[in-house]
Structure 1
Amino acid sequence: QWACFISADDKHKVPIGESVPVSTGVRNRRSLSTQNNDLNASDHDFTKLSLTPSVIFFVSIPSNISGGFYNGQVFVSFKDTVFEPSSAIRHATEFQDAIHKMYTPQASPPILCLYTDGGPDHRCTYGSVQIALISLFLSGNYDMLIAVRTAPHHSWTNPAERIMSILNLGLQNVAIMRNTMSDESEALFDKADTLDEIRDKANKNSNLEMELRDCIKDVQSLLHSRSERLVLKDQYFKCYNAASEYDINGLFQSMSKVDPLLTRNDTTQAQLTRHNELVSFMKTHCHERAYSFQIKKCQDVSCNICTPIRLPQTVFDSLHFLPDPVPALDNPDHYTSFQAVYGKQTSEEFRPSLQLNQANAEPAPKSVFASGKIRDYIMCCDCGKRRCVYSDKALSQDEIQDFKQSLDTYDYSCGAPLFPDDHYLAELLFVRVKISCDTPMEILYYSSRKSGNSDICYHCGTDSDFVDPPDSIRTKYKIIYPLCQRCQDKGKEFNARMEVKVNGSNSKRRKTR
């Protein structure tokens, strides 16, 4: 009655053929064809353009916990991966648009619950995600907003994941190809290999961007028409268009209530901490955890941001931020029940991911993990830290090109391998798997001579707002790794190595303030 529960997720990219139709990549089933004629499609590994299917699943909340959560209305969109990339503010804008389609403005529930995977566009500790959620909270006039993401490698718990198997039915036995562009645009497009190169050329040539958008519209229309014939529990799927820049700016405009000087480019924590009004709002209205971000109206009569609550007063008074899991006193192997800790002050000290699991061995030989064998860097899609990519031998130009294209296809997160087991590069390129998103930067990163290894915080990987180490540390250690202001505020310490010898004593590594 009072809450709207949305589960959202992005499906794997659908490749678009350039001169010949290319399979969508979904395993096909038997289909009808003319006699003595084979149904064939080209391989999908070497395409530049693709579409990203996005799912917004309005879950019909059951009346009791034993009921099913796989019932409700599904919205699907096929976004242009080049010019409509997934971002926190785009998702928030699309959530708002879908809510307007589901409810009339007067009937939208006052509590909004979001459940997503842990990609960079949903990571609750990212400043860009927090700003997007606050914008959605203010624009929709919600009494409370609860955004929760899955833990790394646990996206299977997201209800929207089950929608993907139904969506596959609409993508089976389909091969797609874009329309041709003008000779000038085709020549420019042929010289671009990666998404970044395509965007760079489109920024310099507006006709290329316009023609690239137009040449895939027929493909998007085809996939929309097929998706709208899919059904979940007697409810047909509905399709929506990706949010435009105008719509995104309209949603972000609600942030002017908090801080009129804030811009869409202010996304890092270092930038946001300079906005005192925003910091004050987050301290009094928000609750941040590694896997959740929650916002609630304050009911302070002096607050000029919050509007009157829409919930009955008794219901609003019973609302509390979600608690952290706490082990039971009588059985530490089990957690205390939700009812016992709801409404009480808890902390993240018992979060399982804070304890690094060292059980699995590295899949690569130890000799490959050396600073001289670092071939590239890759960003974790969950925590944003830069991880080292190792190879025993230097890569050929073809292998480098295949690796760059794979970065546009696969998402990497800390502790996971780079490629599927059947990818030939899985035997050539390696990353450490005995790590998690809570693991600091690799020491070898700072000693690597590979271009691109700029100074970044040892604990979180940010590249700005560093703290100068005190003289007591400078004079004692030869190597001191960077520390940002935000990590220091959280109690993190400088990590230093190679203590200066004094009276013949030398310690290799120390942690010190």
Structure 2
Amino acid sequence: MICDIPESINIDFYAGKVCIGLKDPIFQPSSPLRHATELYSILLEEQLVDKPVLCLYTDGGPDHRCTYARVQLSYICLFLALDLDYFVAVQTPPQHSWKNPVEHIMSILNLGLQSVGLMRAEMNDESEKLISKCGTMNEIRKIAMENPTLKEDLIDSLQSPISSEIEMEKFWETIQLVDDSVTHEDHTAEHIKQRLFLQEFIEHCCTARHYSFTIKKCGESTCTICRLPCCLPEDFEQLHRLLDPVPGDDLHYKSFEELYGKQTTEDHRPSLKNVKKTKEKMKTTKVKHTMPFCPSAVHAKNVGITVSCVECEKPCLLFSAKKLSEKDKTILQGFLDTILYTCGMSFYNTYDLAIAIPPKQDICDDITEDNGEDDQENMEKEDASNNDEQNEPEDLDNRNEEFEIDIDKELDNATEDSIYELFSRVFVNDSWSCSSPIEKPYYSAGIYPDVCIECGSLDVNRVTKDEHPHCSGCNSDTIVSKKRLKWKQGGSLL
């Protein structure tokens, strides 16, 4: 959505033009570079390329997460292609994509696109026969590897997307204005470190935060790293990097006006723990967990359920000394679906949390069965003793409402008691933080999907048996795990 910025804060900010793009997910997968190229094409079409400042607000998905190197590189390409003076991309907190103004139109689209289907042109008989045998996108990709013409025929049968592969290639070439040695393979932090000029540009112009990424020209006429600003000098002097929240003395965060233009850090981000860095390695202060037993793979398999942190989105294990029943697992999963969990949180005194009560018939059918006959008899006696026929329907409605309220209270109490009792047996490792890697019992249990040990991403590379899974964006530091495996197998460490 391209917002029409109001002149006053009292005017509605949610106004502008919404652009919707479609693409083929089989051979045109979504990527940060594709999103940036599409945005560039939209700005060209709307004749908005002469603006010196660009602010993006996204939902923080995999293609918009500010901490990913490939996302940062696509933002740098956009900054260079538009010759911006200032660029800032901000993502919503986890599970809060509804805060993004463009999400407000989703309800309208859901209604407007009802009974609307997408069509493609018919391919030749051979390609149509091949694709008719496929039931999933992966099957189509596999057949296309054996029959290269299928991919070309399928792409030709669809309308061209807003950004073609050629346009993406040209858009990517803009980053070579900073460093001509950058290639398409450079999409991780390790790759960036090997590109000296690109690394120099990032350190000079970019500011990376957990929820934001800012690029700003320095404004110096003698600078050889970035260009001169396009806007007026007096306007450029008012542009400062996006600030970080800083708590005040009154337990509230300081105002924007008080902090704008000052240097701030991420030290007060809730999910950021105190991490001491040294030149050789990163050391963290170990905190003892509050569980009555040592967490292990066996204790994790007794539960078989994980809860994801809304900040880092890593899966956190739940432990129990004894195996849970299917009923306990249902109650546990239903409760976890109603809360927003963060690393380091304990389920102690869980009954104080605001929870959504599951359907009544699934919780406590015995209560209604035991009390149904007695309550019905009481209602009949009260109805018989009432001589006023005009007030009889009203009295009956009141009694039914009181009866339902009593049942609701009993069900609420039963649910609270069951959850409170359940968390006297189920525990979470509250000594873990968002900066910690995935717990080792997660992998040794053998019942959970493989995720990156550093960031929790499901997009992991193929590893050997003595390595923990990792994605392409994280380092594969497996020396410790290899040594430990050899030591456990009785082998030599030399």
User: SS state of the match for residue 255, structure 1?
Assistant: helix
Pair 100,438 (structure 1): closer, same or farther in 2 beyond 3 Å: same
Once the two structures are TM-superposed, the CA of residue 317 in structure 1 deviates from its matched residue by 1.3
- The aligned runs of 1:183-262 (5 Å cut-off) are 183-217=125-159, 241-262=161-182
* In 2, Cα distance between equivalents of 1:243 and 1:165: 26
Q: What is the CA-CA distance between 1:111 and the residue it aligns to?
A: 0.4
Q: 2:158 & 2:308 partners in 1: Cα distance?
A: 29
Closer/same/farther in 2, CA of residues 65 and 368 from structure 1, 3 Å limit: farther
Q: Displacement of 1:114 after TM fit? A: 0.6
User: Whole-Å Cα distance in 2 between the matches of residues 128 and 379 of structure 1?
Assistant: 24
Counterpart CA distance in 1 for 2:482 and 2:10 is 52
Distance 2:165 2:298 in 1: 45
Kindly tell me: are residues 381 and 340 of structure 1, through their superposed partners in 2, closer, same or farther at Cα, counting changes over 3 Å?
A: closer
Specify the alignment match of 1:441 in structure 2: 438
CA contact (8 A) 1:118 1:150 kept: yes
1:347 aligns with 2:289: no
Aligned AA for 2:8? N
Distance in 1 between residues matched to 2:317 and 2:146, nearest whole Å: 32
1:28-107 to 2 correspondences below 5 Å: 57-103=1-47, 105=49
Give the RMSD, CA atoms, in angstroms. Answer: 4.6
Residue 165 in structure 1 maps to residue 110 in structure 2:
no
Offset of 1:199 from its aligned partner? 2.7
Matches of 2:87 and 2:177, distance apart in 1: 17
Cα distance in structure 1, aligned partners of 2:342 and 2:253: 26
Q: Does 1:288 align with 2:285?
A: no
Candidates 198, 205, 212, aligned match of 1:278: 198
CA distance in 1, matches of 2:130, 2:299: 39
CA distance in structure 1 between the aligned counterparts of 2:151 and 2:104, rounded to whole angstroms: 34
Q: Distance in 2 between matches of 1:140 and 1:66?
A: 30
In the superposition, relative to structure 1, how do residues 379 and 216 fare at CA in structure 2: closer, same or farther (>3 Å)?
farther
**Residues of 2 paired with 1:130 and 1:322: CA distance?**
16
Hey, which of these two has a bigger chunk of helix by percent? 2
Please show how residues 459-478 of structure 1 align to structure 2 within 5 Å: none
Which of residues 337, 346, 352 is equivalent to 2:255?
Answer: 337
Q: Which residue of 2 aligns with 1:327?
A: 247
Consecutive unaligned residues of structure 2, counting only runs of 5 or more, are 274-295, 325-339, 344-357, 360-427, 485-494
Contact 2:94–2:310, Cα closer than 8 Å, also in 1: no
Deviation at 1:350, TM superposition (A): 1.5
In structure 2, C-alpha distance between the alignment counterparts of 1:316 and 1:349, rounded to whole Å:
28
Once the two structures are superposed, residues 342-394 of structure 1 have per-residue CA deviations (whole angstroms, 9 ceiling, x without a partner) of 11111112113337xxxxxxxxxx9997469989x99999968688999x99x
Whether the 8 Å CA contact 1:148–1:291 is kept in 2: the answer is yes
**Kept after mapping to 2: 8 A contact 1:439/1:459:** no
Aligned AA (1:255): I
Rounded to whole Å, the distance in 1 between the matches of 2:47 and 2:7 is 20
Question: CA-to-partner distance for each residue in 1:320-340, whole Å, 9 max, x for gaps?
Answer: 1011001111x11x1100111
Contact 1:113 1:146 in 2 (8 A): yes
Using the alignment, how far apart are the partners of 1:173 and 1:481 within structure 2?
46
In the other structure, the counterpart of 2:401 is none
* CA distance 1:59–1:459, shift in 2 (3 Å): closer
Deviations 1:275-325 (A, max 9, x none): 122111111100000010000112334433422211111111121101100
Mapped to 1, the partners of 2:76 and 2:229 lie a distance apart of 16
Distance in 2, Cα, partners of 1:283 & 1:125: 15
Alpha-carbon contact 1:93-1:248 (below 8 Å) kept = yes
Shift in alpha-carbon separation, 1:186–1:487, aligned structure 2, 3 A: closer
Higher strand share: 1
In structure 2, C-alpha distance between the alignment counterparts of 1:118 and 1:436, rounded to whole Å: 20
Checking the alignment, whether the CA contact within 8 Å between 1:372 and 1:448 is kept in structure 2 is no
Note the residue ranges of structure 1 that are not aligned, 5 or more in a row.
1-56, 221-240, 356-365, 394-412, 423-431, 467-478, 489-493, 499-513
* Corresponding residue of 1:152: 94
What is the alpha-carbon distance in structure 1 between the residues aligned to residue 137 and residue 469 of structure 2? 31
3-state DSSP of counterpart to 2:19: strand
> Which SS does the other structure have where 2:21 is aligned?
strand
Change (3 A) 1:318 1:246: same
What letter matches 2:51 in structure 1?
Answer: P
Amino acid at match of 1:276: L
Question: How far did residue 211 of structure 1 move?
Answer: 2.9
TM-score by length of 2: 0.60
Q: Which amino acid aligns with 2:246?
A: V
Q: Which amino acid aligns with 1:113?
A: C
Deviation at 1:258, TM superposition (A): 1.4
Q: Is contact 1:324-1:346 (8 Å) kept?
A: yes
| Residue 496 to residue 181, structure 1, CA distance change in 2 (3 Å) | closer
Query: Deviation of residue 155 (structure 1)?
Result: 0.5
Contact 1:145 1:294 survives alignment (8 Å): yes
